[in-house]
Structure formats: C-alpha cells, structure tokens
A and B are shown apart, each in its own frame.
Chain A
Amino acid sequence: MRNVYHVARRELGAFFVSPIAYVVTAIYLAVTGGLFGFILYYSREATLRYVLMHGVSLLFLVLITQVLTMRLLAEEQRMGTLELLLTAPLRDWEVVLGKFLASLGVFLAMVLLTSTFVIVLLRVGEPDIGVMLSGYLGYILLGTSLLAIGVFASSLTQNQIVAAVVGMGITLILWISGALGEFVGGAMESIVTFLPIFDHYQDFARGIIDTRDILYYLSVTVLFLFMSVRVVEWRRWR
C-alpha cells in the first residue's frame, strides 16, 4: 500500500502544479454554481436535488471525470515513462490504483468546494440534511465509477483525446443502455435495465440509500480498475 500512496502523492502533486486541475475545478464550480443559483431562484425550494440530478450537471460530471483521468496512463505511454514506472519495484495494480486515487482526490476536493451551496441553503432556508448527505454520497459514488471508467480508457491508448472520447463513449453507452431493455426482452431485459449508470443515482438524490445502488457503483469501479490493470499488464508483454 505504501507504493500506492507514493504513486498517488506524486500524481496528486502533478495535478496541482499543472494548471489543468485549477481550470477544470474553476469551470466545474462556475457551471454547477450557476445552475445552483438559477434553480434555487426559480424552484424556490431549499434542496440540492434538482442541481445534482440536472442533465447539464450530470453531463458535465462525465466531461470532468474523463478530463481528470485522460492523462493518467495515456501520457505515460506516450512519453515512454510507463515502462520506467513498470520496471520500478511497483506492481501494476499499485500504479493503476495510485493514479486512480489521485484523480479521486482532485474530484473530492472539487466536490468539497461545492459545500458553498450547502452553506447558502442553510442560510436562506431549511434544507433536509438527510437528503443533502445522501445526495452527496451518491454523487461521490457516481463520480468514483466515472473516474474508474476514465482510468480504463486512459490505459487503452497513448492519446489523451482518444482516451477522453473513449471514456465518454463508455459512459454514454452505459447511460442509454437501459433503453435497449424493451428490445432484448426476457431475462436480458432485467440485466440491461440494471446497467444505466445514472439511474442508480436517482434514489440517492431523492433521499433514499439503497444497498443495491452502492453495490452497483462499487462493482463498476472494481471492474474498470481491474480491466485497467489487465491492460497495463498486457502492454508490459507486448
């Protein structure tokens, strides 16, 4: 685990000395903040539910997570530094996990900065604390899954842009896969309708914590991280 920590620290450092983390965070806060302000003004309801579930903020979350992760493994491959990293006394999974945790750290910092919304709501109204907490829990779980997808996409290619596009593609396919349910029918239907990644977020946003949704997000995260490790390992032998 110490190696994971070192990789994560190095990567986190790289994030915060490069302008990308600041620009991404600033834009993220501006977009969600604007959304928050307008929705609060028009809905007149002290809740974060509409902000976190809004199509724009979900789409933006997809973009942000893919941008945060697109560099992680693709860049190393392009620079040829992945070989260096892999020949170091590090296991493949330690590299992948470390980089994933670094992106998660940046994401958590961004989410933490949206606590200004909570402060505003507590000042002007009486929001339901339970709903806000479950909303944030779901948001973080969702973001974690999206980051894992991004890490996987980044492991596939040397090109950051391609990595981001692939990551978005996987996410969007997972997003709309539920619509296939009616076509496949039968036992496949219950599988396909279980896949859409944002559906599992709805309960959290409404104020319901369901173990199925937690399990789903953890499964997606584990699966994509595992596949990233396999891809990295495969590259080593190529």
Chain B
Amino acid sequence: MLAMPPVDHQVVARRAAIARALRAIVPDGVIDDPDALRVYESDGLTAYRQPPLLTVLPQTTAQVAQILRWCHQQGIKVVPRGSGTSLSGGALPLADAVLLGMGRFNRILSIDYQDRIVVTQPGVTNLAITRAVEDAGFYYAPDPSSQIACSIGGNVAENSGGVHCLKYGLTTNNVLGVEMVLIDGEVVRLGGATFEAAGLDLLGLVVGSEGLLGVVTEVTVAILPRPETARALLIGFAGVEAAGQAVAAIIAAGIIPAGMEMMDKAATHAAEAFVHAGYPLDAEALLIIELDGPQAECDHLIDAVRAITQGFGCTSCRISETEADRLNFWAGRKAAFPAVGRLSPDYYCMDGTIPRRQLAHVLRRMADLSAQYGLGVANVFHAGDGNLHPLIMYDANIAGQLEQAEAFGADILRLCVEVGGVLTGEHGVGVEKRDLMPAMFTDGELAQQRSLKAAFDPDGLLNPGKVFPLLHRCAEQGRVHVHHGQTAFPDLPRF
C-alpha cells in the first residue's frame, strides 16, 4: 500500500468534537457516518481507498474561510475535493484529515458576453459552462475527457487539458481569475475580469497546484465564439515514423489543427473491435486530425493536410463530409481506453509527455520493454503536443503481474524524462507519480518547490502526501489500474 503521512491519532480521537465544531460552521453539511463517508474514500484513482476523518460540504466562501481558519488553528489537515474524477489521486482522503467537498458551489454567477467572461462557482462542471453559453454561440475551450462530471475548480487544481489544447491551451490559458481561501482563512482574489493580474502572476502558480496552496471558491474564465465548422481526417500509415514525420510536416506548414491524435496498431484494433468506426486495420499508425474555423479555412486546410500526408505515404485517408462522419472518426479514439479494457482483464494508464521527434524511439523502446516484461501495451498519443497515454495490459489475478505492470509503467515514465519529456502531461502528479518526482527534479529543486508551498501553507495542512515524495522514504507505488473495466466513473469517457 502507498505510504501516506503518519496518522495523527490524537486528531482521530477528537473526531466527534471536530464534527461538532464544523457543524457549528456548516449546520447541514457535515458527514461523519462511516457508511456515508465511503462515498468519498477514493477518486478516479481507485487503486487507493481511505475514508476521510469526516467530510464537510460548505456552501459559502465565508464558511470555507471559517473551516480553514479553525482547522489551521487546531492543526488539522484538509483535503479539498471537487467532483473526485482525478486520475492521479489528487483528492485521496487521509484518515486524520477533513475532506472539504466543494460540490455545493454549483452556481454560475455571471455571464458577460461583451467581454466574453463567465464567473462561476468552482463546483460547476466544465461542460455546464459551455452549456450555459452555447445558445449565444460561445463555449469554454478546455475539454478534458471527464468534462461532463469534472468541476471547473478541479480543472483549476489540475490545470486540465483536453484533445483541443494544442490550439486552445490548457486551463491555465483560459482562466482569468480566482477567489481563493488560504489555509489561515484569509480570502484573496487573484486576477479577475482583466487580461492580466497586477503584480506577480500568483494565479498562474495556483492553477495546477493540485489543491496544495489554497481552496478556490470562485473562478473567472474566458469563453470563445464557437468555430463555424469542424471537419476531421482519418489517415492510416504503414509505420509510426511516417506518421510522426507527417505530423511534424503539418506543423512546419504552419497548420495548428484543433486536434491531432495518433493511435498505434494495438489501440486501433482494440477500438475498431469495440465501436466499428471503420478504422483501417492494416495501419501501423492512425492519425485523426481535426480542423476548425471558417468553412473556407477548413476546406483549404483539409486539402493541405491531405497533400502532406500523401507525401509521407499514407495508406488510407478519409475525410469527414458530415458531422456524423466526424463524430464517428472520433468514436474509436474516445473509446480507446475501454476498448483496451475488453482485451485484457486489467490495464494501467500512463500519462507522460515527450518531444514529438522522440516518438518513434520511445515506441521502439516501449516495445522492447513490453517484450522484457511480457506484457502488452497499446498507445494513444496526443500527437500535436507530445502527450502519450500507454495502456499496459495485465492480469491482476496472475501472481506478480500487477507489480510487473507497475515496474513497466515506471520505466516508461523514466524513459519520457530521459528523452527530454515529463512525468505527467495532464493527469497530475497526485499520489500516483509522487515518488517518481526525483526522476525529473533534484532534491534541491523539490526543496525549492516545497518552500513555495510553505509560503501558502507553512504547516503543510493542505492536501498532505500529494505531489511531493514523503520525506525520508522513496517507495514507488500507486498507479491507475482498471480491473475488468471497473473504474470509479464507468460512464465517463477517458481519452
């Protein structure tokens, strides 16, 4: 089991008194019944489960401030939680920590179409923002695969991306401001309805800080007019090298597609068997390229992309003529994770980023590792930005395979770092990759980041045990495991 910070048994012993104190702040929002608490014992990283000490569900910024101030005074740890869809265990509770659920912050506060901004409470889902503005022709650009469930506050914590982030950016590029409560109860506003904040860009620091710096109680986001049209191409290649070269050539031609996805042969076969999207089964690599914008631009770029990919010897090329075609091209890609789940009793999802030019090399090394470990792997790849999701197939019922899969996965992430990439492109460090951080940062660099944490939270009470390796230990455990297709959110697409 993953090591977490030592449990403070004195705090656990005070559980009833803590519940009373929190009820005085939020009379209708404290959960201390052990059965009811099991709802909160895990997030999207289901391998790890731990019921919280208790859960509190505030409704106002003032309540959040009172809760944090009281916990700070009492030395009680706090784990913030949005919708709990994190794939890296960012909202994993602790036995001696209050779980602060932000789900009741569920209202959009204002929409300003003239300045194209939405002010919302953090518990509103990502997709709900788009739903609120789509009739006026607008949308919120970042679209993580969990967007029907994940909250915008969680997106801020994780700096969530999506398949369109090459062109439209991550959460950090689309958020203008937050209201945030510090651990001592101080309420600060960082940024707002302007293009930049005064002073140091603390907002930029808070986005992606995985709940370690403060609790966000309000978010201001930028919205964009929805593109006039979107079309997609489905292009097969006889080799990964040629597909990678085609991607580089598309970008070199000055084209930044709205989305550019690659699947290897294993992932293509798995997806085709699952959703029958008409994928070419002879392709060693399959590209899905989406172009959006004015009709004239899409038409122009479709021709340009087709010509480039033909120059690199594509073996097949289909172009969406209707919206149904386009969605069908995407259907297999969006079902790739569950599709692999049908081929193997268990799979383990990784999330590294590499410089794109290293793709063929990394896939070759991964094939070697696959042979060495005796475990299959299928790859889906956000080809535009180098974010790779290898899916390692294993069977947890065979003794030793889980450990083998974990070792394989850690080797893949070290390989990503070795070629100039990173441990996580979009899923976050959480508890999952915490102990791999030394592969990317020296002790001094981690100490520097910890001292930054201390500037916000000197006692380390907010979301302890996440992002940074625990001091004085270095076990490497904990990954996204899916057993018989059972995930925490089986109805959520993951891609």
A and B associate: no
* Interface residue ranges, A against B (CB under 8 Å): none
* Interface residue ranges, B against A (CB under 8 Å): none
